[in-house]
Amino acid sequence: MSQDWPQEIPEVVRRWMTTLGFSTYADFEDFQSFRLKDLANPSDLKDMDLAVDRLIKAFENKENICLYADFDMDGTPGLALLIRGLQYLGFQNLFSFQPDRFDHGYGVHADIVEDFIDSHKVTLFVTVDVGITDVEAVRVAKEKGVDFIITDHHQQKEVLPEAYAIVNPNQKDCSSGLTYLCGTGVAFYLVLALRRKMKEIGLLQRDFDPKLLLDCFAIGTLTDMVPLVKENRTLVQHGLLQLAKTQRKGLQKLMQELNLANKRLGSTDVSIQLAPKLNALTRMKWPVQPIDIFLVDNAREAEEKVAEVMAAHQMRVEIQRQGEEIVEAKLLEKDSWDHVFMWSERFHKGVVGLLANKTMQKLQVSSFMGAVLGDKVVGSGRAPDGMDLLPALDYASEFLVKFGGHRQAAGFELKLENAEAFSQKLAEFFSQQEKRVGPPPLVYDLHVSLPELNAEFMAWMKKLEPFGQGFPIPTLRLDHLFVGSAKVLKERHLKFLLKDMHGHSIDALLFFADNIDELKSLSSKRVSVLAQPSINEYMGREKLQLLLKDIRVEFA
């Protein structure tokens, strides 16, 4: 361990920082030193000034503007941020739209664009987290004399839409360096640039503090898994503070429901607690949608809508449990799997991604799950770290209607009559890949002992927030522990008391356990575990606990 780290930093924290690539304390200080005053100039983003000028023209002419956002938990907080930001700036005549996850699918759809133009006399569209590949929809608008401002962060294709302005840090000729922004982040920079310009030319009648929008920035950035560096890190830090005191009545009520009110919020409060509950609304095709929770401004309505959020979440949990039972039964048919592909009429289309992810995590192999919808199968795939789904889907693409996504998360669709042939083609592909021998390896960041997980470590966890992509909570390995007790909680969660031979102990939670009886029998067994540390706050008291990722018996 390098000697230039201050002695007041615990040795376990120094080891942790080294695993993240900070070989010296100076590297670590540089990473932590970014401040709001260091934010990039919004005009560094290509086409930003063009977009601002077009919005000012729309403001002066009182044009009807449609804000078109993706349906996910980047597009939704981004839409909420842009709506409120434009309202603060005095914009009126705002319409908004998000495509349905299942009825429409991802993207800007030409027929919807036409409908807004014809029915609502919209003369300007502004996208959030979508649009960079939607050539046809933009072409349709342009033919009708209607402009598009695209704000997005996804990778472009060879041909760009003929939009009035494209603000995307990941387009090929943007030199801003802000490639780590998510869709919500790009929308925030648009509001910053617009506010600055309107102040300069005397159009801003009433100013506002942009920090009011950072609750949305934090939610979008943490859920979209973009790197928590520079602007992102600093703005999420401020965003978590803003979220804790948010004036958005829907978020206030939801945080009360989740016991997140009146506490210091961390990144996992958003990514593990808040966002999945909101996501359940679109997964379950609920009448209430996530954007309603962001925008509702009546306390009674907020309470009613949050009750719907929790109902959708409970339904999602139950439907996912039913799907997992089907998967578990099928997995028993073989001793080992080099990949998994299952399809069923009993799989709900809203949870196939969750089923694929759970199976992938359990077996550490690429996993594909499909819901049978009439004569087609709509599915989702997940791959472990270091693996890539897309070559497998490409290899079997002759049987697919469409597919797309990223290396470790992708969607696909095929005709039901081709499901068996697709399955065989996938099996052929994976049979040609290098086989792993034995159980999945234990992959972790730090080997620690229980005494190292003390109050000082917990204080540093709080100091190092926020955690996320590029700066994750560490996965810890602890050996030679004894299971003092195992208690079943609601929703198939288990709580263990883990002890070492010197009397140190810690609580450990395992969520959505599959084999509860087997795990309960671990009492008095000696185990090794992989887990992430977490701070449990209850009745004003804080306590370090472990969130288990793997638990293995060392010997009986």
- What confidence category does residue 140 fall into, taking pLDDT thresholds of 50, 70 and 90? very high
Give me the pLDDT at residue 405, please: 77
Residues in the chain: 556
Beta carbons within 8 Å of 370's beta carbon, 6+ residues apart:
341, 342, 343, 344, 347, 352, 377, 378, 379, 380, 412, 414, 419
- What confidence category does residue 262 fall into, taking pLDDT thresholds of 50, 70 and 90? confident
Q: What is the mean pLDDT of the chain?
A: 93
| Beta strands 165-167; 340-344: pairing state | unpaired
Mean pLDDT for the stretch of residues 93-117: 94
Of the listed ranges 44-58, 217-231, 383-397, 486-500, the least confidently predicted one is 486-500
Burial of 158 (0-12, 13-18, 19+ CB in 10 A): exposed
pLDDT of 216 above 90 = yes
In tens, the pLDDT along 36-55 reads 999 999 999 999 999 999 99
Give me the pLDDT at residue 440, please: 64
CB 403 within 8 A of CB 410: yes
> CB under 8 Å, gap of 24 or more: what pairs does 57-61 form?
58/91, 58/123, 58/124, 59/89, 59/90, 59/91, 59/198, 59/203, 60/203
Six-digit token string for 545: 């606990």
Give me the pLDDT at residue 437, please: 63
Six-digit token string for 230: 């520079």
The b-or-e profile of 219-252 (16+ CB within 10 A means b, else e) is bbbbbbebbbebbbbbbbbbbbbbbbebebbbbb
Got the DSSP string for 496-523?
EEEE-TTS-EEEEEE-S-S-HHHHHTTT
Six-digit token string for 32: 């932590």
With a pLDDT cut of 70, the percent of the chain lying above it is 98
Got the DSSP string for 382-430?
E--TT--SHHHHHHTGGG-SEEEE-SSEEEEEEEGGGHHHHHHHHHHHH
Mean pLDDT for the stretch of residues 525-532: 92
Top-confidence residue, 468 or 492: 468
Please choose, from the candidates 487, 456, 460, 489, the residue with its C-alpha nearest in 3D space to the C-alpha of residue 473: 460
In tens, the pLDDT along 53-78 reads 999 999 999 999 999 999 999 999 99
Mean pLDDT for the stretch of residues 104-120: 95
Burial of 33 (0-12, 13-18, 19+ CB in 10 A): exposed
Sheet holding 94-97, edge to edge: 94-97, 64-69, 122-128, 147-151, 165-167
Top-confidence residue, 94 or 363: 94
Terminal Cα-to-Cα distance of the chain (whole angstroms): 36
Burial of 463 (0-12, 13-18, 19+ CB in 10 A): exposed
Q: Give the count of alpha carbons within 13 A of 280, CB side only.
A: 21
Top-confidence residue, 156 or 115: 115
Give me the pLDDT at residue 1, please: 46
Give dist(CA 178, CA 386) in Å, integer: 25
CB 11 within 8 A of CB 449: no
CA distances from residue 143 to 114, 116, 117, 136, 148 in whole angstroms, order as listed: 10, 14, 11, 11, 12
Six-digit token string for 103: 């009825």
Domains of the chain: 42-245 (3.90.1640.30), 247-321 (no CATH), 334-431 (3.10.310.30), 446-555 (2.40.50.460)
Give dist(CA 151, CA 147) in Å, integer: 13
Establish whether the linkage from the previous residue to 210 is cis, with ω within 30° of 0.
Answer: no
The b-or-e profile of 88-105 (16+ CB within 10 A means b, else e) is bbebebeebbbbebeeee
Give me the pLDDT at residue 171, please: 96
Residue reference for tokens 């016991």: 259
Give me the pLDDT at residue 439, please: 63
Beta carbons within 8 Å of 189's beta carbon, 6+ residues apart:
42, 45, 48, 167, 178, 181
Q: 69 forms bridges with which residues in the sheet?
A: 128
- What confidence category does residue 456 fall into, taking pLDDT thresholds of 50, 70 and 90? very high
Give dist(CA 229, CA 238) in Å, integer: 14
Dihedral sign of CA atoms 130, 366, 407, 266 in order: positive
Q: Which helix (H) or strand (E) holds 483?
A: strand 476-488
Top-confidence residue, 387 or 234: 234
In tens, the pLDDT along 309-363 reads 999 999 999 999 999 999 999 999 998 899 999 999 999 999 999 999 999 988 9
